[in-house]
Structure formats: structure tokens, C-alpha cells
Structure 1
């Protein structure tokens, strides 16, 4: 035999090992479960109503229609480019929520030289509403985003940025016309080519409506502007997208991944129909749409969702008669704001890392990774650097950019992609039956779907089935808090007003008014708005003139935005306010009964449970008798006592201990660590007020305890 034949003979192949039948595996698993139901212990039920199996097999992907698709080919489930990130990675499109143009530019120039390669403009509320800074409420100027009121402001914010080579994404929503005018005017003033500008100045009125509950003008007028912007961009700025579809309002309301995706797709379809009604073709419209989705911590679910999003979008565009090129989805991802926490904020680093990883594996085109401190302050240089470097580590050190569709072929991911797609499609079809997204929002259907899911999430968070490290589990009462930044809003507005006053004074009043009159008279609003900007009109003046013919906008019930950890953060805040008033943390005495091995497990659990509410425990060595424990508890001055021992010892220990405590101090709160079901009623009769255990509603119990202790 040759050396090669000998080597081949010595190397086992998979065919030599007989496969283990699934039934044999189940028998072994059932033995380990010791009678516990397989479906309850090993099948995970998700908010998407998808049952996740503990193991996936080849049979689970049999017959899936998308398995033979390739990257760069319709329906683009595996990516819109044949080589994925191998030739071009995602855009590092970090949001910089700086308040003023000067602050924004300083942060942008620093970050663009250290890894960021796209501008991602988040605007403050007055700018989004088309209100100049000196006309807005002082407390809103620069809050949560950049204040821009003129071409000069925009020039200052983007100083040093080559708009012909750097993509720019502007979350403009209802101010898309005015912001396009400012951007186009700036490009013209710089002698640059609009044809080379790449990015998006996206309108997204329905997402704004879902978030705020109202729009400043009628949808018919908004769609008219959207059509004009889209037509203008196709002719003058072909690499600029004009329509954005944001799933963030639904995500931030507590929606499931399939709900966010379905509502985003339904919104996009609403825009397609509105644009078609105004003479645009599907091949003109679809490439102008940019989706922006929030990505949460359910790692594989999010990968599957992004892959399914491309598949469903291609299916929709194809149904409208769009070409294969038009079927490609443009997809921005943002790590979740809903998942972020105020307490133990450095954990946000870890959350954002997993979310960013799933975004990249899922194949996003651009990505924002939230700095860990964005809830508390304008992110500083350190937190921005860590967020940027997370992009770099994913690109340069994890090597996921060297593989096209790295999750592709996984039986789990492929099956989950199909399940997510089917669930999202069913929701999408339900909205279609209702007449589209506008009618569904007016009827309150998406709001109810999100609210129902948010209620389920809240119940699981309260019982700590869903965990927020540092908030409802593993709190750190000794953490050094990052204090929210103090902002002098009046001084900020005064600074912005002074800049605006100087800008207005420099304009030729006659030319500016003539341009604004032309804009208010209708016709081609885009070119008229650009000419007004070039003539020195401010954002507010352009917006006012453009809305001269506007009718009253719609009003609906908005999606209630919140964060998952807020209820537990409120408990901690109440405890900290108590410390400020009293000088020490609220305290609970642990009546630890018997030797260490008898009480330690439950005493430790009770200590961690109470710490979630900012409550300290007095943790003595074990007591030998109920009388001894009661005397020590009463002497401690604590307003609550937790009895800690084992279920077998409780019938003997609890009644005399609880009765003595209640007799001596009727207002004392007596808790029991554990939930001995056969004795619950008897222990309540003896004086036990509540039980601390794994299945307890932690948020409700601690809220009640704080009120009774005078903390809240």
C-alpha cells in the first residue's frame, strides 16, 4: 500500500460511525429529567411565539425553500453582495448626540480619525419639528441630538468632512425637505458634486406618528413632499436615499423582533403605494428606502431576523414588479436602547457587544453601537472609543468578515430564519387585511400588539425570568454612580440664538423673502427650498414656508416607549433617596436559624433579592432558638425580618418566631425565605407577611416592602 493509502486507512470518516437515533437521545434526556416534562424544561418559548428546541437536526431544515440561495442573488437572505464583508465591511455609523455644531464637529473629527467612517446625524426635537433654536423651548434645544438651524450650522458641524467620500445618514423624518435643502446648499457652496454624495436624508412620518402620536401636517402633504424628494434625488443625488423606515418606536415599546420587522415592512409598503400613486415606479422607490432596526440581546433570534428581513423585503418588492436590483434591502442596525440600564452601566458594554455581533453576523449594511453611558450623559471620549473599537474588534479580530454569511448552513439558524420570516409575514398580512399601516395605527392594532408583548416582558422581568444584570439580578450596591451631566439649557439656547441672530443679519432680506415666497406658492418644493437655503433662510423659515398649504396632521395613540429595567431602577432610586434623607440604607434583619449549612443558601439568596431594591441585610451567625433570633431582630431596629432556614425545620421554627416578633412589634414585616407550599397558610396565620423565593414577583414584593418600611 502507498503512504497515501495507509494514511486514508488510518483516518476515520463520519460514515464509519452510525448515527444515534433521536429516540435514543430522548430516552437519555428523559432519564436525566427524572419525570419533569421535556416540553417545559427544554423547549424555550419566545415572545415571537416560536418554540426553540434544545437541539436541531438535518430534518429541521428539510424542504426550506431558501437553502439553495447564494449571497448576492435574490432573494438576498444570505446578503446583497456576493462577497459580503470580505470586500467591504459595514459602515461604522456611530451616533454623536452632541448639542451644538461646535461640540458635534469636535467629536466627529476625533472619531473619524479613529475608526468611524460615516456621519450619523441625530437631531434634537426642535430641529426635527422645523423650529429654529431661538424659537424653541430652552429645555429642548440640543436635548438628545444636534441643534441645526442654518446652512452655517451644518457647515460648522461637518467642517473637515469630505461629503463626496464620506457617507452621511441624517435621521430627519418630518424635516427631510428642510434638511435636504440645507445639505444641498452646503454641497453647492463648497463646490462639491451632489451626484457623489452618498447616504440618506430619510423621511419616516409613520414611525414618527407611532412614536409621538401626532404629525405636524397631513399625510397627503407629507407624501407629496416625499415624492418630490425622491424624484429630485433620482435626478440630482442618485446615491442619497430619501425614505427611512425605523423599527425603533416599536422596539422601544417592548415589541418582539417579528412585530418590529412586520410593522417596518408594512410601513415601507405604505410608502411604496403612496409614491406609486404620485407617479413613481417601484424601481425608483425601493432603492430609495433605508430600513433601520433595533437589535436586542436574543443573539440567534436577531441574526435570523436580519436574514429574514432581506428575504421578505425581496418578496415584497418582487410582488410590486421590482427588478432584482431593486429587491436589495438597505439595512442599518442600532444596538438596543430598550435593554440599556442606568445602574451598573458598564454592563451595557457587554449587551451592546452581543447585539453588535449578531448585527454583523446577520449582515447589516451600517451599524451604531451604543456607548455604555448614553443614558446618563453625552457619551465622553472614552465611552465613544470603546463603542468604536467594538466595531474594530469584530472586523479585525473575530474574522467574521472573512466569511460570507457566517451563520448560513446552521440547522438552528436556518430553521429559525424560516420561523421568524413566517411569523413576521403573518403579522404583515394581518395589517394588509386592515387596509395598511395607516389604518392599522388609527385603529390601534399595532399599539395593542406591542403593549401585549410589553406586558408579558414586564411580568417576566418582575419575576426575574428575564434578567438585567446589575438591575434585577446581581446588583452592586457599592458601585460608583455616573452622575447625569448638568446642563445649562438657558445658556445653550442663548449661544444658539446669538449664532442665529448673526446668521440672519448676514442674509440679503429681499432675496431671502423672494425665495421663501416661491417656496410657499407650491410647485417644486425641493429646488425652491434649496434656493431659500442658499439665500440665507433658516431651517424654521424654510419649514414654515413649505407648510404654507399644510392641513392638520393625524393623531393616534402613541407607542409607549420605555426601558425594560425602569421599574427596578425606580426601586434603587427610592432607596438612594432614603439614604439621602436618613443617612443609611434601609435594613432588613436575617433571622438565620441553625448552623451555617442550614441557613446560608437562603440567607445569601435573600440578601441578593433585597439588594435589588437597594436594601441592606443584617446578616448574623445562626441562632439556636426562635427566642434568641427574635430578641436579636427586635434589638436591631430593623423594620423587616427574613427567617432563613430549611423547609424541614420551618414547621418547628416559624410559628413561635413569627408570633413573638408580631406580638412585640405588630408593625414589623416578617418574611420567609422559601415557599413551603404545604405550610404557607399556617405560616401566614402565625404572622408571616410574604415569601422570598425563586418564583416570587420580585418587583412587586420589593415595592410593597419599600412602602411599608417608609422607603418609597
Structure 2
């Protein structure tokens, strides 16, 4: 920080600056004109100074130091989605991705695939290997265990996660929670030697992609952690074992600076939550996967989604994500070109934007530090309220969780419909003629126990595409 004695003029306080701004506004109300609200909770001021923060902010550490000398101080995994169908062709796709920028995989598995063929010639010790079950849980875990046994994989030869938690089943069928918790306890014991592989992932992104605010995403995501600690303790799994086996997945939306602060807040809140259970974990030992948001994308002029992917990926990196998952808007049906573009976003941010040169470039920003502190405050208050009302599972069972998120979702969608919130390519600067490149619209029908991915632009799409 520059020494204040360097300046030849006396410093001004924030209050003095605000008074000057009020005079320049010539009668306009300062609050109405220049302040705004983030996620219906956090007040956003037009500027921030050193008075808004408590001293100098420490640089966060998002991962341990690299084992290889000369490696950049900031490292993240560039993971890509893989949907095995034809196993030989899938293996070719996997090898092509790993040879062209990817260093991690997210395999969507039914539980019947031949993993030896899908991952033929893949050296798992050098990449991040993540599995996402799409079928029956027990069969899926049996498949993973068989694959590990067939290769006699040593613990140091497998890094990554299983993108699954016992709570997932509740949102898919509304029941079977106890069976899934038993599977989680078994997975923790089965993978206890694999210290760089996380058999449970808390999926905070389910809330964000369903329309929850960033604060609601953290409240309900961390609420899941508290619930799991409680139910797993009855199966002889300690809080220490739970935290050691958890990874976290959050979706990064289009509120760029807020999302940076949100991801950083998540890491800090995990440490504080663990401490409440007497568990000491270091920030750098927490694994967070950041994925680009489905909620922020639009079916109208799909090309603008590429821009959104890029600045969301940037926010995920600056916020401290350990794995970056850039999702093509069309998911499983994405073209070869769209998959290549999604894969290359990380490479560009690394090799051309040099985001790998500093561990925590956002440290010290008065604005971001204040945002993070405010987000943490509201999340803690929300968690306390959630626990006082019976906890995460009760909020799921009585559907108050669903009601809160659906309310946030509908309000956001109505703001876009009314042009109160501007979405480029949707309600502002629309593509016309040959530039139009819309995707097909399908209504979203949500069962009462579900929280399905939606979009802020859904009502506008419904008006335009459903009647085209």
C-alpha cells in the first residue's frame, strides 16, 4: 500500500465524499440514485474506501503449493463433461479433450458402462477424474469399485470426486434419504485411503440454477452439510470424516463481482462451520468446483451465452475454484464446436489472460472485501434461522425450501420480462435476421419435491419462442 505521506493534499473521509456527491446530485436523493441491492439483501454503495474494511485483507490460499517446481502459483483443473454412449467413441473423445486443453473429466454414468474402455490409456494420476451418477446409486458405486479393483489403483493414482450426495435423491424422487445416507457412510469408508478423491459433493449449484440468490444458495448448501453431519453421526461417521470427504460444487452466475465474493465466502464459511464441530481444516484443503450457470443462459440468441460463459469462468477462478466446469448451453447435445469453445475458455484465461500468475488477485479490493463480509453475515443469519425452524431436512419435507427459491425465481423472471433487469440478446440489443440463433423452447414442468434448472429469461422465451 502506498504511504499516505506521498500525497500533497489532505485526505478526505468517506462521509466528506458522500456530502460532495450529494451536492453534485443537485437535489436528487443519494440512496435512490446511486445505491442498489444485491440479492434483495446486500446494499451496494457507489464507492468503497479503506473505512469499509478492517485493515489490510490477507491473501487467501485456494490450494496447497504445487509439488512441481516452477509451476504457476495459481492452479485449477479444466474439467469437461463426457456422456458415454458408444464406449470406443467416448474413449476417443476423452483422449482428444485431454490432449487439447482439458485436464479433468466429469463422466455422466448410468452404472453399466465399461470404464476400462472409456478410460483406456488415460493416466488418472495426472488428471482430475470426476463421476456423476445418472442411474441407480448402488449400481453406480459398484461400477466405480469394480473399475478401481480391476486396475489395482493405488490411492495416489486417483484424484477427483463423485458429484453426488445423499440429498440428491430427495430432489429426484422425494424419498430414499436413509438408503442414500447409508451409501454415503459406506463410500466414506471405502475411499478412506484415497485422500485426494472426494466421494461426496455438496451440490449448491442445484439452488442457483433453480433461481435462488447467491445467499440462498450458500444457506441451503451449507444446511445440507449440517444435516449430513447429523445423520452420519448416527452411523459412526465423525464430523472430521465428513469434512475430509466433502467437495463442493457451486454455480457462478452473471453478477460478476458478487459471484467472486460468493465463492470466497463459501470457502471461509466452510472453515468456520467445521470449527463449530471442533474440526480444523485449512482453506487450501477445501475442493470447490465452479461451473458456469444454467440460470443465466438464454435460448434467445445462444451466441451471447458464450460471452456469459467467459466472465462467469473468470469469476469462478478469481473466487478460488479448484475445478472449472464450463458447461455448453446445449449440454449433452452440444456440437463439437461448442464443446471445443467451452474447453478453451479455461485455456485462454490461463495462457492469455494470465490468471494463473497470482493466487488471489481480488484480495484487498474494498468493494469485494465488503461484499464478502456482507454475504457471510447474511448466510450465517440464514443458517441460524434454518436450524431454529428444524433444519435443512425439515425445510425440504415441508417445502419451505422450495417455496423460498421459487419465489426468488419468479421475481427474477418477472423483472426480466418487465425489462427491469436487462439481459443482452433477450430484452435489449436483440439479434435480428441472419444473426438470430435461437434454441428450441420446452416448458419446464416441476414436481413439488423437485428443483429443476430454469432460466431468468424463461418468461420472455415463453412469449417469443412458444408462440413462434
| Residue 375 of structure 2 corresponds to residue 415 of structure 1 | no
| Residue 303 of structure 2 corresponds to residue 361 of structure 1 | no
What do residues 515-555 of structure 1 show as CA deviations (whole Å, max 9, x unaligned)?
A: xxxxxxxxxxxxxxxxxxxxxxxxxxxxxxxxxxxxxxxx9
Q: 2:463 aligns to what?
A: 571
What RMSD over aligned residues (CA atoms) do the two structures have, in Å? 2.7
Q: 1:166 aligns to what?
A: 127
Evaluate the alpha carbon distance shift between residue 159 and residue 34 of structure 1 in structure 2; reply closer, same or farther with a 3 A threshold: same
What do residues 183-233 of structure 1 show as CA deviations (whole Å, max 9, x unaligned)?
A: 2322332344355211112431324423x3524x3x222211211110111
Q: 1:265 aligns to what?
A: 222
| Residue 167 of structure 2 corresponds to residue 206 of structure 1 | yes
Q: 1:188 aligns to what?
A: 149
Gaps of 5+ in 2: 441-446
Q: 1:274 aligns to what?
A: 231
2:11 aligns with one of 14, 19, 22 = 19
Residues 215, 375 of structure 2: 8 Å contact kept: yes
What do residues 267-316 of structure 1 show as CA deviations (whole Å, max 9, x unaligned)?
A: 01211222222112222221210110110011111111111111111011
What do residues 603-648 of structure 1 show as CA deviations (whole Å, max 9, x unaligned)?
A: xxxxxxxxxxxxxxxxxxxxxxxxxxxxxxxxxxxxxxxxxxxxxx
Distance 1:112 1:394 in 2: 17
Distance 1:359 1:434 in 2: 32
State the 1:234 CA deviation: 0.5
Matches within 5 A, 1:388-407: 388-407=343-362
State the 1:99 CA deviation: 4.3
Distance 1:483 1:568 in 2: 13
Task: Give the number of the structure whose alpha-carbon radius of gyration is greater.
Answer: 1
Q: 2:444 aligns to what?
A: none
Evaluate the alpha carbon distance shift between residue 109 and residue 433 of structure 1 in structure 2; reply closer, same or farther with a 3 A threshold: same
Distance 1:349 1:281 in 2: 43
Residues 60, 359 of structure 2: 8 Å contact kept: yes
| Residue 181 of structure 2 corresponds to residue 223 of structure 1 | yes
Evaluate the alpha carbon distance shift between residue 110 and residue 481 of structure 1 in structure 2; reply closer, same or farther with a 3 A threshold: farther
What do residues 480-535 of structure 1 show as CA deviations (whole Å, max 9, x unaligned)?
A: 565869xxxxxxxxxxxxxxxxxxxxxxxxxxxxxxxxxxxxxxxxxxxxxxxxxx
Residues 413, 458 of structure 2: 8 Å contact kept: no
Q: 2:421 aligns to what?
A: 466
Q: 2:91 aligns to what?
A: 105
Residues 174, 205 of structure 1: 8 Å contact kept: no
Distance 1:82 1:193 in 2: 22
Distance 2:211 2:34 in 1: 25
State the 1:87 CA deviation: 3.6
State the 1:93 CA deviation: 0.9
Q: 2:112 aligns to what?
A: 149
| 3-state DSSP of counterpart to 1:231 | helix
| TM-score normalised by structure 2 residue count | 0.90
Gaps of 5+ in 1: 1-10, 73-78, 128-147, 486-554, 577-712
| Residue 389 of structure 2 corresponds to residue 434 of structure 1 | yes
What do residues 641-679 of structure 1 show as CA deviations (whole Å, max 9, x unaligned)?
A: xxxxxxxxxxxxxxxxxxxxxxxxxxxxxxxxxxxxxxx
Q: 1:558 aligns to what?
A: 450
Distance 2:276 2:181 in 1: 22
| Residue 28 of structure 2 corresponds to residue 36 of structure 1 | yes
Evaluate the alpha carbon distance shift between residue 466 and residue 413 of structure 1 in structure 2; reply closer, same or farther with a 3 A threshold: same
Matches within 5 A, 1:283-294: 283-294=240-251
State the 1:329 CA deviation: 2.3
Deviates more, 1:186-195 or 1:11-20: 11-20
Q: 1:374 aligns to what?
A: 330
Evaluate the alpha carbon distance shift between residue 94 and residue 205 of structure 1 in structure 2; reply closer, same or farther with a 3 A threshold: same
Distance 1:484 1:410 in 2: 39
Distance 1:306 1:165 in 2: 26
| 3-state DSSP of counterpart to 1:563 | coil
| 3-state DSSP of counterpart to 1:395 | helix
Evaluate the alpha carbon distance shift between residue 42 and residue 240 of structure 1 in structure 2; reply closer, same or farther with a 3 A threshold: same
Distance 1:208 1:279 in 2: 22
Q: 2:103 aligns to what?
A: 117
Evaluate the alpha carbon distance shift between residue 12 and residue 55 of structure 1 in structure 2; reply closer, same or farther with a 3 A threshold: closer
State the 1:82 CA deviation: 6.1
What do residues 326-376 of structure 1 show as CA deviations (whole Å, max 9, x unaligned)?
A: 9942110100011111221111111011101110000101011123x526x
Q: 2:443 aligns to what?
A: none
Distance 2:298 2:19 in 1: 43
| 3-state DSSP of counterpart to 1:180 | helix
